[in-house]
Chain A
Amino acid sequence: TQLLEQSPQFLSIQEGENLTVYCNSSSVFSSLQWYRQEPGEGPVLLVTVVTGGEVKKLKRLTFQFGDARKDSSLHITAAQPGDTGLYLCAGDAGTASKLTFGTGTRLQVTL
């Protein structure tokens, strides 16, 4: 059974601070996705990383895929209240819809 562990589980920070969320597994994934989910809504895809060592940037968000394709990180610079939500990583082992989701990181950004 493939597992994706995310850390930290909860994060409460003030506006303007930086943070990093980690997603770790003992399994290799062909790609890894990051989602954000807001209360009462389904997850929304932020990014997909495919190549080991790949780095992608989405405005203030930086995503990295580990060299061995077993882990990933999400770094947010100068967090804003709009970044509040549940961040989920999801690994694709080759069947693109049968994603293995991480345990989630709940982020709260206050003014």
Chain B
Amino acid sequence: KAGVTQTPRYLIKTRGQQVTLSCSPISGHRSVSWYQQTPGQGLQFLFEYFSETQRNKGNFPGRFSGRQFSNSRSEMNVSTLELGDSALYLCATRIGYGNEKLFFGSGTQLSVL
């Protein structure tokens, strides 16, 4: 069974640009969550999607948005990039919307110059 796939693996952008990251869940997993990991703040929850609907949201500005498609694949978008958005963005998927195990992808390393 293939794991959680995140693309691209690395990304370099400049301030003010926007970026779209992609996450393909494990087959059969319908819930996709996004986390931001930085050395200073650690891992912080961004949002979760289930059945194409955002179910939970963390404390991030509106520049951070996401969506989920009917095949459960998810994308997150960051607009008007700031230097502080440089981070590892991790996607985590699970079968349903309950208390099941989360499976993380390897992440997308975003550098904002």
Contact = CB atoms under 8 A, between A and B. Distances in A.
Interface of A: 31, 40-45, 48, 88, 90, 92, 95-104
Given A31-B99, A97-B31, A88 B43 contact: yes
Interface of B: 4, 31, 33, 35, 42-45, 48, 55-56, 58, 90, 92, 94, 97-107
Contacts of A44: 104
Given A97-B92, A99-B102, 20 more contacts: A41-B106, A41-B107, A42-B104, A42-B105, A42-B106, A43-B90, A43-B104, A45-B101, A48-B101, A88-B42, A88-B43, A90-B43, A96-B98, A97-B48, A97-B55, A97-B94, A97-B102, A98-B56, A101-B44, A102-B42
Contact of B42 (A41, A42, A104): A104
B107 A42 contact: yes
Contacts of A98: 33, 45, 48, 56, 58
Contacts of B103: 45
Contacts of B55: 97
A88 B92 CA distance: 15
A40 B33 CA distance: 19
Instruction: Specify the main secondary structure of chain A where it touches its partner.
Output: loop
Instruction: Specify the main secondary structure of chain B where it touches its partner.
Output: strand
Contact of A40 (B56, B102, B106): B106
18 contacts: A40-B106, A43-B43, A44-B104, A45-B103, A88-B42, A92-B99, A96-B94, A96-B100, A97-B31, A97-B55, A97-B56, A97-B97, A98-B45, A98-B48, A98-B56, A101-B43, A102-B42, A104-B42
Residue picked from B43, B55, B56, most chain A C-beta under 10 Å? B43
Contacts of A104: 42
A76 B2 CA distance: 30
Contact of A45 (B44, B102, B105): B102
B4 A42 contact: yes
A95 B98 CA distance: 8
B103 to A, nearest CB: 8
A64 to B, nearest CB: 20
